[in-house]
Structures are given as C-alpha cells and as structure tokens.
C-alpha cells in the first residue's frame, strides 16, 4: 500500500509544480470605443420632424467580440485576448443618435423600437472596423454608411458613406484601440455633415 501511495503522489506533485510554474490562467482584456460627447443642441425654430435610428448592421466577423486585424486584403485575424466590451453596432448606433439630437434638426431622435410614430428612419452599416497590417506600417480603417428613409413614402431622402484611415504610432493593441476611437469620431462627424435634415431641405 505504501508503495502505491508513493507511486501516485510523485506524478501528482509534478503536475502541481508544472501548474505553479507556467499554468496561470490568461484572461482577456476588454476595450471600449469612445468619442467626445456632442455639444448641446442649438435652439431652432420651425423644426417639426422626428427620427428613429435603427441599430447599425455589420459583417458578422465585426461583432463577434474579438478585435479584428488584417494581414492582407483577403485575410482576417482575431485577437484572442483583446475584445470589445460593447458591441460596436450598439456603440455606433448610440453615437449617431446623440449627434443627430445635438444637431437640432429634429423634434425627437430616438432608437428605433418598431413603432411608426416618427417621420423618418435612419439605418446604417459598419463596413470596416479593423487594424490593417499590410502596405507598410500599422493603420486602422473605419468605414460606415447610412441612409434616411421617409416612413410615409418609403423613399430614401439622404444617403452617405465614409471611409477613414488612421496611423498607429505604437505597435500594441491599446494604441490600436486609441486610434480606432479617433478614426471612428472623424468618420461619424463626416457621415453626419451636413445633418440629414439639412440635406433633405435642399432637395437631395
């Protein structure tokens, strides 16, 4: 019996020693997108239209949680331990709605809830949100598009699409995320300049 106990305890102690040396559990790091808050809306007279913002869509690989990088135009990679804390679709939807509220172009801007109690619906898509590791250096690319539709007629009254590229100065994921934030802010600003209601009033 004593020999059996010794035979079992030796490999068990070896496993414990191995776990103590290099078997620590690695936990993922989580990041959030962030853009500066919009200014307070201006006081505008004669504004009577309301708007709902539908949740932005994206390719499936952009909302699976992991931060995306590309080593070629065709190859997509994922950081296993660097992930988004909030779905980018939710973030962009809320950021766009906040800026449209601040534009003062609508009496109400809300997130779309399936109700038809608004005049217009804005829908959009995140086309790109990724680190780019080819063609020299490290960059990030953000591409978003949106369209506003008259709920009564079904006609598109405004469309826009933008593609922004930012350069990353340091080779690590936090620096990539920081540049994604700056690039996303520029992309949203360009997307909504001029605001959709202003474009419609000119007959576009």
**What is the CATH number for 54?**
3.40.50.10610
For residue 82, being part of any structural domain is answered with: yes
Query: Between 137 and 95, where is the model more confident?
Result: 95
Query: Between 70 and 171, where is the model more confident?
Result: 70
pLDDT for 87 equals: 97
Stated as kind and residue range, the H or E segment containing 46 is: none
For residue 99, being part of any structural domain is answered with: yes
For residue 182, being part of any structural domain is answered with: yes
Q: What is the pTM of this model?
A: 0.84
Give the count of domains, the chain. 1
- What residues make up the domain containing 186? 27-201
Question: What average pLDDT does range 107-133 have in this prediction?
Answer: 96
Question: What average pLDDT does range 86-98 have in this prediction?
Answer: 97
For residue 9, being part of any structural domain is answered with: no
For residue 16, being part of any structural domain is answered with: no
Question: What average pLDDT does range 68-95 have in this prediction?
Answer: 96
pLDDT for 48 equals: 86
Pairing relationship of beta strands 50-53 and 108-111 according to DSSP bridges: parallel
Q: Tell me how far apart the alpha carbons of residues 180 and 183 are, in angstroms, rounded to a whole number.
A: 5
Residue 164 pLDDT greater than 90, yes or no? yes
Q: Tell me how far apart the alpha carbons of residues 30 and 33 are, in angstroms, rounded to a whole number.
A: 10
pLDDT for 199 equals: 60
For residue 163, being part of any structural domain is answered with: yes
The tens digit of pLDDT for each residue in 128-153 reads: 999 999 988 899 999 999 999 999 99
pLDDT for 42 equals: 72
CA gyration radius, the chain: 24
Taking alpha carbons only, the member of 201, 19, 60, 59 closest to residue 144 is: 59
Tokens of 3: 């020999």
Tokens of 134: 């080819």
For residue 7, being part of any structural domain is answered with: no
Question: CB neighbours of 149 closer than 8 A, spacing ≥ 6?
Answer: 120, 121, 122, 123, 155, 156, 157
For residue 128, being part of any structural domain is answered with: yes
DSSP states of 12-41 as a string?
HHHHHHHHHHH-PPPPPEEE----PPPPPP
Question: What average pLDDT does range 165-194 have in this prediction?
Answer: 95
């Amino acid at each position: 019996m004593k020999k059996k106990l010794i035979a079992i305890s030796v490999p068990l102690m070896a496993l414990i020693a191995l776990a103590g040396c290099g078997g620590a559990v690695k936990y993922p790091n989580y990041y959030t997108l962030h853009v500066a808050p919009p200014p307070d809306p201006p006081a505008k007279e004669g504004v009577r239209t309301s708007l709902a913002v539908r949740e932005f869509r994206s390719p499936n690989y952009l909302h699976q949680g992991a931060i995306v990088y590309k080593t070629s135009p065709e190859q997509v990679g994922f950081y296993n331990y660097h992930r988004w804390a909030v779905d980018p679709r939710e973030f962009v939807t809320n950021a766009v709605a906040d800026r449209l509220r601040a534009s003062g172009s609508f009496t109400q801007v809300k997130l779309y809830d399936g109700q038809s109690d608004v005049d217009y619906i804005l829908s959009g898509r995140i086309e790109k949100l990724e680190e780019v590791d080819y063609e020299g250096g490290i960059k990030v690319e953000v591409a978003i598009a949106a369209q506003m539709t008259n709920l009564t007629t079904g006609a598109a009254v405004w469309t826009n699409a933008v593609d922004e590229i930012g350069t990353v100065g340091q080779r690590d994921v936090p620096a990539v995320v920081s540049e994604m934030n700056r690039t996303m802010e520029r992309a949203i600003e360009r997307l909504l300049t001029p605001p959709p209601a202003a474009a419609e009033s000119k007959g576009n």
